[in-house]
Amino acid sequence: MTASPLPTRPREGADGTVEALRARMQGMQDGVRRLPVPTPPELAGLVQLRTGGSYQVDSAALALLLLAASSRAGSWTAIVGVDDLGIEAAEEMGVDLGRTVVVPDPGDHWLEAAAALVDALPVVLLRPPTGVTARTASRLGARLRRRTSTLLVQGAWPGCEASLWVAGSRWDGVGEGSGRLRSRQVVVACRRGQAPVRHAELWLPTPPEHAETSPMSPRHVSDVTPTRQERRTG
């Protein structure tokens, strides 16, 4: 008697199942459900912030853009270690200062300040000192997952879930040698693990009515991993 071959699923169905499992695994870590956090729509194709995650950014403007998404949604936020914070710039980005705790200069107690705020608030923006160790980042990461908070880091952060940086930019507002800088069109790059770098164009802040919205020149965009200097100067 010859056995009949078992029926197989269509390939499309298998691929869909794998993708669904990957999405489910991404939403879980250490047995804790990782919920989506408000993310700027301009960055929807690059990254989705989630509770329990840390995200590295290279510039204050980009950090405030990410922070503002949660602030506009009504969440309390915190800013730690940013001693040169521009209040007007933060408000222009959409940060509600009435629901924002600011610790501009925690000194040597930056980790304790960040940990205390992670315990109490859903989103914390931190500018740490140089030389953060993987052990320190891991300790705060475990706290993030327990408290279902999200950490935005302006600077180097070992083991971050994603890194975002400004790969290119051009300003609007200066005409034929005169005028005032009003807004900046940037190319934001994002790297997640070993995946290829992805890019998106956006304005910081939103574009003025007269701004030219044509795509930026390819020379502004590179798929090469940025150097430390490139990340600092974005």
pLDDT of residue 84: 93
Higher-confidence residue of 24 and 135: namely: 135
What pTM did the predictor assign? 0.75
Q: What is the mean pLDDT of the chain?
A: 80
Backbone angles phi, psi at 139, to 5 degrees: -60, -45
pLDDT at residue 180 in the model: 57
pLDDT digits (tens, 9 = 90+) for 30-64: 556 789 999 999 998 899 999 999 999 999 999 99
**Of the listed ranges 80-84, 118-122, 171-175, 206-210, the one predicted with least confidence:** 206-210
* pLDDT confidence tier of residue 226, bands split at 50, 70 and 90: very low
Instruction: State the pLDDT confidence band at 179, using cuts at 50, 70 and 90.
Output: low
- Structural domains in the chain, CATH included, are 35-162 (3.40.50.300), 166-232 (no CATH)
Q: State the pLDDT at residue 189.
A: 96
Average pLDDT value for residue range 72-82: 96
